[in-house]
Copies of this chain bind each other. A is one copy, B any other.
């Protein structure tokens, strides 16, 4: 049956030796993140999710959530008790600001834990995950009164939070929103409309749920410029902080989904519910994007998190299952067959997963550190650089990370052969769960357009130039090191493809923006290869350093070097193909009359 062990050894390697958490101990909050404390978070947090949440992952998928006739929703057996333990242990408070009851730890440390949480139980992780997104929006845009009223209980996990954007007629195109907000004489608004696909919209885990809702005030423009953000609590909150009357917001139904069955995905009906404006009127989209950017990094982490669990189980199955013989002759002649590990094609799938999960782990943690640095670094230059880099790479981490997470889960299932298709083995759930991450918080096609349509050009291309410089500098330094020169040359080649594709966009995008749109998805993957490739350069360098220092764990570091080579051998070659696809432009994509697509 499925198993999961938090990859603490690898996380520590990345935090300590790859992104150098220790070198930032002078920054606010980072003093709370000494190696001992971080290690305790990883060990204890990992133990908690593995022992308490992972055992509920498969049963949660099988049971799903249940909506009752009165509109209430119950989560699967064991979720409520596990959530209470989660709250009591404070695992949701790691990165919350201390003034609202959080532990004030760096975002990068919370991200390391968050990966484990997702790996153990993605559907469970979405309950606190949505709360954190809603909290971030309130902290950024809410009034002091709103912050004081809602945020402490949300950080503590006593209350949940949700994001209400989508409606039946609008997903990506939020300008089409129909939900109305009518101002009332007491300064509140009456909210009326239907929201769909609301993750964690209604459940039995918390005593209150704080909904953040996009709606339009009377006379607002009929576009995304007319959207405002409102806070709509399930139970109104009295001035003394106690719960008042039930608000007119309710769950109309829960969706039947491909996966993440244990998270309640709700249709939410707002029937003149009482809400309050968050931030300025008609500036709702900007406020929502604060949530979205954090959420997109969190979704990228889901690709890694689910991929990691799927990968670990595939490795275990390859140890346990004996089938056929090595091409080079029997490996275990005393047994009736060799283990799956002797077969190169099984190895290919496992090495691909290893190269991608470890590479994405480094990229996600590096990205989380940029979030910290964008707020806390000492100089304006450093803060701006970090903000530029994470702004550029957020769609890459989301889009490339989740596309690859799905591939990893699919390959891990493939290692199991026929057993992978059978529910009780647990592997098909990872594929079904991983699938949603490519869709929500903006489909991966939307991420790709965000990257090429907004992030590339912003501030005259400052961010992408900074990224190119970062990679170029590290490649140049590594080429001087004989041990890293081969790998550095491979990364330099991939970077060259990315730079050429960027130039091609500049030369061909003005005359026809579809040339950029047609290459967007390939470009996102190309940048994903280069960014993950940079992480592998750093990991290889750190491994060589540790080996030279005679640091104990020799086999671990040598495995890093083999895996870096796999990345160069088997993943980087796609860079050239992606560039060629991009440079073919939009002609063959846009030429066909829509009526001619189906040749029936």
Query: How does the 8 Å CB contact mask read for A530-567 relative to B, with 1 for contact and 0 for none?
Result: 00000000000000000000000001101100110110
In the assembled complex, the Cα of A555 lies from the Cα of B593 at a distance in Å of 9
CB contacts (< 8 Å) of A574 on chain B: these are: 574, 577
**A330 lies within 8 A of chain B by Cβ:** no
User: Is A5 in contact with B444, judged by CB distance below 8 angstroms?
Assistant: no
**A318 lies within 8 A of chain B by Cβ:** yes
CB contacts (< 8 Å) of A435 on chain B: these are: 410, 413, 421, 428, 431
Identify the interface centre among A555, A570, A593, A598: most chain B CB within 10 Å of its CB.
A598
A8-B600, A312-B598, A518-B348 given as contacts; is B591 within 8 A of A562 (CB)?
Answer: yes
In the assembled complex, the Cα of A66 lies from the Cα of B411 at a distance in Å of 30
Q: CB < 8 Å: which of B258, B562, B568 contacts A428?
A: B258
| Distance in Å: Cβ of A447 to nearest Cβ of chain B | 10
CB contacts (< 8 Å) of A596 on chain B: these are: 555-556, 558-559
CB contacts (< 8 Å) of A255 on chain B: these are: 422-423
Q: CB < 8 Å: which of B172, B318, B351, B588 contacts A324?
A: B172
In the assembled complex, the Cα of A336 lies from the Cα of B440 at a distance in Å of 23
**A514 lies within 8 A of chain B by Cβ:** yes
CB contacts (< 8 Å) of A513 on chain B: these are: 327-328
A7-B598, A312-B598, A345-B449 given as contacts; is B171 within 8 A of A417 (CB)?
Answer: yes
**A90 lies within 8 A of chain B by Cβ:** no
| Distance in Å: Cβ of A179 to nearest Cβ of chain B | 15
**A589 lies within 8 A of chain B by Cβ:** yes
A258-B432, A344-B514, A587-B565 given as contacts; is B414 within 8 A of A351 (CB)?
Answer: no
CB contacts (< 8 Å) of A432 on chain B: these are: 258, 428, 432
A contact face: mostly helix, strand, loop, or mixed? helix
CB contacts (< 8 Å) of A440 on chain B: these are: 418, 421
In the assembled complex, the Cα of A354 lies from the Cα of B328 at a distance in Å of 42
CB contacts (< 8 Å) of A453 on chain B: these are: 327
User: Is A328 in contact with B514, judged by CB distance below 8 angstroms?
Assistant: yes
A424-B256, A439-B417, A520-B345 given as contacts; is B318 within 8 A of A592 (CB)?
Answer: no
Within 8 A of B (CB), among A428-479: 428, 431-432, 435-436, 438-440, 443-445, 448-449, 453
**A283 lies within 8 A of chain B by Cβ:** no
**A584 lies within 8 A of chain B by Cβ:** yes
In the assembled complex, the Cα of A328 lies from the Cα of B256 at a distance in Å of 37
Number of copies: 2
In the assembled complex, the Cα of A365 lies from the Cα of B366 at a distance in Å of 50
**A246 lies within 8 A of chain B by Cβ:** no
Identify the interface centre among A344, A562, A574: most chain B CB within 10 Å of its CB.
A344
User: Is B594 in contact with A566, judged by CB distance below 8 angstroms?
Assistant: no
Give 29 CB contacts A-B under 8 Å.
A5-B598, A9-B599, A10-B600, A171-B418, A172-B323, A172-B324, A175-B337, A176-B337, A257-B423, A257-B428, A312-B598, A312-B600, A315-B598, A345-B520, A414-B445, A418-B440, A559-B599, A565-B591, A566-B589, A569-B581, A569-B585, A569-B588, A570-B581, A570-B584, A570-B588, A570-B589, A573-B577, A574-B577, A577-B577
User: Is A319 in contact with B443, judged by CB distance below 8 angstroms?
Assistant: no
Q: CB < 8 Å: which of B327, B566, B577 contacts A514?
A: B327
**A350 lies within 8 A of chain B by Cβ:** yes
A588-B566, A600-B5 given as contacts; is B351 within 8 A of A319 (CB)?
Answer: no
In the assembled complex, the Cα of A386 lies from the Cα of B315 at a distance in Å of 41
CB contacts (< 8 Å) of A170 on chain B: these are: 323
| Distance in Å: Cβ of A141 to nearest Cβ of chain B | 25
User: Is A422 in contact with B588, judged by CB distance below 8 angstroms?
Assistant: no
In the assembled complex, the Cα of A489 lies from the Cα of B260 at a distance in Å of 47
CB contacts (< 8 Å) of A594 on chain B: these are: 315, 318-319, 339, 341
A344-B518, A517-B344, A589-B348 given as contacts; is B445 within 8 A of A597 (CB)?
Answer: no
**A343 lies within 8 A of chain B by Cβ:** yes
A172 nearest CB neighbor, chain B only: B323
In the assembled complex, the Cα of A428 lies from the Cα of B438 at a distance in Å of 13
A558 nearest CB neighbor, chain B only: B596
**A166 lies within 8 A of chain B by Cβ:** yes
Q: CB < 8 Å: which of B166, B345, B422, B597 contacts A448?
A: B345
CB contacts (< 8 Å) of A559 on chain B: these are: 592-593, 596-597, 599
User: Is B600 in contact with A9, judged by CB distance below 8 angstroms?
Assistant: yes
Within 8 A of B (CB), among A151-176: 166, 170-173, 175-176
User: Is A414 in contact with B436, judged by CB distance below 8 angstroms?
Assistant: no
Within 8 A of B (CB), among A165-220: 166, 170-173, 175-176, 196-197
| Distance in Å: Cβ of A299 to nearest Cβ of chain B | 13
**A580 lies within 8 A of chain B by Cβ:** yes
User: Is B418 in contact with A173, judged by CB distance below 8 angstroms?
Assistant: no
A513 nearest CB neighbor, chain B only: B327
Identify the interface centre among A449, A562, A573: most chain B CB within 10 Å of its CB.
A573
